[in-house]
Structure 1
Amino acid sequence: MLKLFCALVLGLVSLELKCQEIPDSINNPILPGFNPDPSICRVNDDYYLVTSSFTWYPGLPIYHSKDLVNWEIIGHAINRPDMIDMNNLNDNDGIWAPTIRYHDGLFYLITTANKSGGNFYVTASDPKGPWSDPVWLKNAIGIDPSLFWDEDGKCYYTGNSWDFKKSWPGQCAVWIQELDLSQKKLVGERKILSYGHANNATFAEGPHIYKIDDEYLLLMAEGGSSYHHAVTVHHSKSLWGPYIADKTNPVLTHRHLGTKCSLQSLGHADLVQTQNGEWYSVFLGKRMLDGYNPLARETFMCRVEFENNTPIFNPGKGMVLSTMERPDLPWTSVNSDPNRDDFNTTNLKPMWYFVRVPQKNFHTIENGKLVLSLQPEVVDSLVNSAIIIRKAKHHKFKAITRLNFQAKKDNEQAGLIFYRTANSYYSLLKDRFGITLVKKHLGKKEIVSSVPYVSKEVYLSVRVDGLDVKFSFGETLDNMTDIGGLQSAKVVSDNKFNKFNGTGVGMYVTSNGQRSKNNALYDWFEYSNIE
């Protein structure tokens, strides 16, 4: 009896401690790092969210959550090399602004392959996959497609267009047309629904239609994806309009807070209603550091309440905060990305990405090591090179790896890379002569420092503290040597080359235009938040 009583007490204590671990508030962003243009849907008590991926592959990451807080990648919709051609694409092109929807037992994911085929959709009965081959909609102009099923059972496509005579600079149109899913093409009349909420509204895009309380709600982004980004809503009694701009517009923005605001560019939103009847919105935003955003666009969330059919974002506050009250949903923990990858699985974990679609296999996992075969392609080119990266998610982080590599020729290099685009990155590479730190900023490439090093094994590290970046190397972790002095994360922040995609850190090898049979072995790779 005493043992039973003690076990019961311990169980109650354990349960109480477990309950205490569930927070009352959560942090924004809900998906830190490279996660722009979010779209969300709910199926029963499961939530699914997708974001843009541009030229990163596999593309279109699909996240799952039970509580809108804890998210886990369950797959990628673009995960077969023949699904899309990304060769010669700029880093800012590729997969733009997806929408995920569920209808009659099937998931639909529709998106734009900018400069690589146009608009297409894929389907799956299970969001984990497999997803169908792309269905290309050849006559679907513009970008940012979305799908809506009306009560008549028909599917309708909304998108944007700029191909018309404009009445003011930056004017874009949001249009609608029926999508015949049996014929897999747009049919019938195409109609423009809105040019935005004002007679100087710019870059109307990212439209979604909802039917709420017998009224159609058109939600869209305006102002471009930078400082003037905003969300507006428009109302109609008919699907085909006319749509009247809400007097509250814009319903979400931070542009009125000025350029010194630490959270900017809010926009490109989607709405979801919980099983309890509450509404939330997900949208993109930029966390700024002294006017720079090294983490690029991330996914944020806030509560929405409807007042006379007007969605009020973060009611009573009017702005998006870094913390918010947790949604009233059962707390459900998930497996988050591990800080350290010991390469003890058969395949790469879902957190790892290539840049553009690999045209050949250059990696294997053997005996607990990631083996990368040196390839002639370089990271500066617009084709797939031997680079594997994961998303940088924090303003303060450290990434370190242990490399086993001996260059046999002058052109052979292997090491670590801190990457945004082919025109903006740092690489810390081991070559035949030693360790070399390279910076490429605004398209200009330079060797920052080169230091002799002879050992076959080396630890390579990058430490980011806000906008300050330091690189180091060493034969042991206790004896690391700084190289290149203080560098800057401004290199990977937005500029004329770095516009829409995000920042990654990982591994890179190359034989610089020549064929090579050499390999580089990575024992492990560790990414840690040091905030």
Structure 2
Amino acid sequence: MGRAVSATIRNPILPGFNPDPSICRVGEDYYIATSTFEWYPGVQIHHSRDLVTWRLVGRPLDRASLLDLRGEPDSCGVWAPCLSHADGKFWLVYTDVKRLDGNFKDAHNYIVTAPAIEGPWSERAYVNSSGFDPSLFHDDDGLKWFVNMLWNHRDPAGARLRHPAFFGIALQEWDAQAGRLIGEAKTIFTGSPHGLVEGPHLHKRKGWYYLTTAEGGTGYDHAVTMARSRRLDGPYELHPNVHLITSKDAPAAPLQRAGHGQIVETPDGQVYHTHLCSRPLPGQSRSPLGRETAIQKCVWGDDDWLYLADGGQVPSVAVPPPFATPAAPARARERSVLSPDRLPPDFQWLRTPHPERIFSLAARPGWLRLIGRESIGSWFEQALVARRQEHFVYRAEVELDFEPRTFQQAAGLTAYYNRYKFHALAVGWSETAGRSLTILSCAGDYPEGRLTFPLPASVAVGEGPIRLAVSVDHARLQFAYALSDGVWRDIGPALDASLLSDEAGGGEHRSFTGAFVGMFAFDTSGGAAHADFRDFDYEGADDD
């Protein structure tokens, strides 16, 4: 029997931490690039041929000459890439943000190119540091234009804007041959009254230049704002509805925080628009899966403005695909197979362009060896290798072989958001119990980042390999372990998984990633003790 035909695109199309989607089409192939912030390598790129099923195909910023995030605060790093294709190659624009707090952002913008999505990617060309979330527009006359928001550190200058730091969208020509900006920058759009204008993308159709931007901040007031002009450099008039996509006035909508995306057209002229979104836990405004990627079907109106095909501005979960396509099989349990050559594609690490300092796949074939460096939560060099949480309900487990000799050495399994928000089950050492299990939690304690220890006393576990597990059911997290007898035992109290969300701790406007689950090791003595892991299983259940 043939497989059933899918009637819908199911949003989010990229579940888990995948924000700021930039989409481009090359022939019948679609690519989406999303932000990775402090996670390494930088920029996730997914591929699809039907807009329904997507596959991770690469993270191009994978060497020190392109990206070095050591020392950067949580939620800095790679913001809002723009992926495009012109002149027979891919163009990737990205920002490396070095600072979050205070009046400054120190946002450095770069461009790299490649003949194929798999690479090789060129060395980066520095553009400027005027703001973040830039894009590159390839006009049909062959000229290229760098489009970016301007960051204004002065306070309270720019009172004409709702938020004076977001100083409008600027346009400047990019000379690809010389690898630099030329001419003068011109501010072409200062945003709508909603304010906080950022994330610009240009699209040309029937002599109109359409500008889509993100507005309202990346929280629950987020929106896709649209404007258009007959001239590239403006003036731009606002969409009749101002916002093309937003959930800001629909608190019961399943897709919240909708904004920041880009137009794409199919080969037969159908129109879709990507956007980020989040799915809060039932009954609360916390989104552990972070900001995810969704897509909406759109139509051009008789007035040559773009509208959601379903009408209104609120994004839909179920969206018609461009053509009938076989239904994708349900995702089964994923066991991460560790080869000497590479990590499984779902895994990333934090900040460093020198992974050989924190892990090895060759030291013990079939195992991932983590080399204990700085503490869990370090902004410089910590051995933490993890994958995104993609489901509200999941279980992850792994086998660990580790023999600590001091309380300064620990390794284990963690559900991790950032240095202020994580829960970790660790094999460590204590003077009373010897090798033992403990739980380390940081429950959104911003800015101090103080730990709590939910276990009243360490649990002795003797020698030999041990299996560790974490089970998450929406806001409830439970750790467990199994010794050589294979019997699973819960350990510690149930913990609050909702703390591993954008909105917890410092809040939605200073936390931009999502929850991960993975393996860690640290050795704060400086001895670089190693821990070996294998058979990492992740099994998730979709939430309807």
Match of 1:174 in 2: 169
- Aligned partner (choices 363, 379, 385) of residue 359 of structure 2: 363
Instruction: Letter of the 1:230 partner, please give it.
Output: A
Instruction: Letter of the 1:53 partner, please give it.
Output: T
User: Any idea what the Cα deviations from partners look like across 1:231-289, whole Å, max 9, x if unmatched?
Assistant: 1111111111111111111111001113x544211000101000121011111001001
Match of 2:231 in 1: 238
Select between 166-175 and 435-444 the one with higher mean Cα deviation.
166-175
2:243·2:313 contact (CA, 8 Å) conserved in 1?
A: no
Instruction: Letter of the 2:540 partner, please give it.
Output: N
Match of 1:354 in 2: 349
Instruction: Letter of the 1:326 partner, please give it.
Output: P
Instruction: Letter of the 1:447 partner, please give it.
Output: F
Residues 143 and 188 of structure 1, relative CA distance in 2, 3 Å threshold: same
Instruction: Letter of the 2:261 partner, please give it.
Output: A
Q: Partners in 1 of 2:410 and 2:238 — Cα distance?
A: 57
Give the secondary structure class of the aligned counterpart of 2:65: helix
Shift of residue 84 of structure 1?
Answer: 1.9
Instruction: Letter of the 1:292 partner, please give it.
Output: R
Give the secondary structure class of the aligned counterpart of 2:405: coil
User: Any idea what the Cα deviations from partners look like across 1:492-512, whole Å, max 9, x if unmatched?
Assistant: 112316611122111001112
Shift of residue 61 of structure 1?
Answer: 1.3
> What is the TM-score of this pair, normalised by structure 2?
0.89
2:33·2:83 contact (CA, 8 Å) conserved in 1?
A: yes
Shift of residue 326 of structure 1?
Answer: 2.7
Residues 347 and 477 of structure 1, relative CA distance in 2, 3 Å threshold: farther
After superposition, where does 1:54-453 map in structure 2 within 5 Å?
Answer: 54-115=37-98, 118-138=108-128, 140-163=129-152, 165-166=157-158, 167-171=160-164, 172=166, 173-198=168-193, 201-258=194-251, 260-289=252-281, 290-307=284-301, 308-316=303-311, 318-328=313-323, 331=326, 339-344=334-339, 346-359=341-354, 361=356, 362-366=358-362, 368-432=365-429, 433-441=435-443, 442=445, 443-449=449-455, 450-453=458-461
Shift of residue 378 of structure 1?
Answer: 1.2
User: Any idea what the Cα deviations from partners look like across 1:188-207, whole Å, max 9, x if unmatched?
Assistant: 12111111123xx3210001
Residues 329 and 240 of structure 1, relative CA distance in 2, 3 Å threshold: farther
Shift of residue 333 of structure 1?
Answer: 6.6
Instruction: Letter of the 1:471 partner, please give it.
Output: F
Q: Partners in 1 of 2:318 and 2:484 — Cα distance?
A: 40
Select between 328-337 and 282-291 the one with higher mean Cα deviation.
328-337
Instruction: Letter of the 1:509 partner, please give it.
Output: A
> What is the TM-score of this pair, normalised by structure 1?
0.91
Select between 367-376 and 175-184 the one with higher mean Cα deviation.
367-376
Match of 2:101 in 1: none
Give the secondary structure class of the aligned counterpart of 1:490: helix
Residues 329 and 188 of structure 1, relative CA distance in 2, 3 Å threshold: farther
Shift of residue 335 of structure 1?
Answer: 12
Q: Partners in 2 of 1:287 and 1:324 — Cα distance?
A: 17
Match of 1:23 in 2: 6
Shift of residue 48 of structure 1?
Answer: 0.9
Match of 1:519 in 2: 530
Corresponding residue pairs, total:
509
Shift of residue 26 of structure 1?
Answer: 3.0
Residues 75 and 338 of structure 1, relative CA distance in 2, 3 Å threshold: farther
Report runs of 4+ in structure 1 exceeding 6 Å deviation. Answer: 332-338
Instruction: Letter of the 2:204 partner, please give it.
Output: K
Q: Partners in 2 of 1:63 and 1:205 — Cα distance?
A: 23
User: Any idea what the Cα deviations from partners look like across 1:22-76, whole Å, max 9, x if unmatched?
Assistant: 3112321000001000000000001111000001001111111111111111111
Instruction: Letter of the 1:142 partner, please give it.
Output: G
1:459·1:477 contact (CA, 8 Å) conserved in 2?
A: no
Q: Partners in 1 of 2:205 and 2:397 — Cα distance?
A: 50
Select between 399-408 and 363-372 the one with higher mean Cα deviation.
363-372
Q: Partners in 2 of 1:487 and 1:505 — Cα distance?
A: 15
Match of 1:502 in 2: 514
1:371·1:519 contact (CA, 8 Å) conserved in 2?
A: no
Select between 385-394 and 163-172 the one with higher mean Cα deviation.
163-172
Q: Partners in 2 of 1:266 and 1:60 — Cα distance?
A: 20
Instruction: Letter of the 2:246 partner, please give it.
Output: T
Q: Partners in 1 of 2:333 and 2:344 — Cα distance?
A: 9
Q: Partners in 2 of 1:330 and 1:105 — Cα distance?
A: 29
Give the secondary structure class of the aligned counterpart of 1:415: strand
Q: Partners in 2 of 1:528 and 1:169 — Cα distance?
A: 44
Instruction: Letter of the 1:152 partner, please give it.
Output: D
Shift of residue 342 of structure 1?
Answer: 3.0
Shift of residue 477 of structure 1?
Answer: 8.0
Q: Partners in 2 of 1:117 and 1:222 — Cα distance?
A: 19
Is residue 460 of structure 1 aligned with residue 468 of structure 2? yes
Decide which structure has greater helix share.
1
- Aligned partner (choices 474, 492, 495) of residue 487 of structure 1: 495
Q: Partners in 1 of 2:66 and 2:329 — Cα distance?
A: 29
Give the secondary structure class of the aligned counterpart of 2:249: helix
Instruction: Letter of the 2:475 partner, please give it.
Output: L
Identity of aligned residues (%): 30
Shift of residue 375 of structure 1?
Answer: 2.3
Shift of residue 369 of structure 1?
Answer: 2.5
Q: Partners in 1 of 2:309 and 2:467 — Cα distance?
A: 46
Cα RMSD between the aligned structures? 2.1
Q: Partners in 2 of 1:465 and 1:60 — Cα distance?
A: 29
Instruction: Letter of the 1:268 partner, please give it.
Output: H
Give the secondary structure class of the aligned counterpart of 2:404: coil
Instruction: Letter of the 2:144 partner, please give it.
Output: C
Q: Partners in 2 of 1:287 and 1:521 — Cα distance?
A: 35
Shift of residue 215 of structure 1?
Answer: 0.9
Structure 2: stretches of 5+ with no match in the other structure: 99-105, 430-434
User: Any idea what the Cα deviations from partners look like across 1:69-110, whole Å, max 9, x if unmatched?
Assistant: 111111111011332221111121000001101001011000
Q: Partners in 2 of 1:407 and 1:422 — Cα distance?
A: 23
Q: Partners in 2 of 1:229 and 1:54 — Cα distance?
A: 19
